[in-house]
Amino acid sequence: MKKESIDEIKKQIAIERLRQTPSTVRISFGTSGVDFMNRDEMIEQVEKDTDIGKKIIKIQLEYLKSFKESIVKAD
C-alpha cells in the first residue's frame, strides 16, 4: 500500500471511533489553544488534517494498540 492510503485508513479508523463517542463528550488537548472540543469538532479536526487532528489519530491508534496488547497478554 502507498503511504497516502495507509494514512487515509488511519484517519477513517479514528473518525469511526469518534463517531461512537457520545455527542456530549468534551475533551481538552492542553496547549492547543482550544478549551474543549466536542465529538463533532474532533472529527472536523481529523478530516482537515490539522495538528490536533493528527494528535487525535495518534491517540486513537495508540489506544487500539494497547487494547490489542492487553488481550494478547490475557490469553
pTM: 0.79
Three-state secondary structure string covering 5-31: HHHHHHHHHHHHHHHCCCCCCEECCCC
pLDDT of residue 16: 97
| Per-residue pLDDT tens digits for 11-65 | 999 999 999 999 999 998 776 566 799 999 999 999 999 999 999 999 999 999 9
pLDDT of residue 30: 73
pLDDT of residue 74: 57
Task: Say whether pLDDT at 2 is over 80.
Answer: no
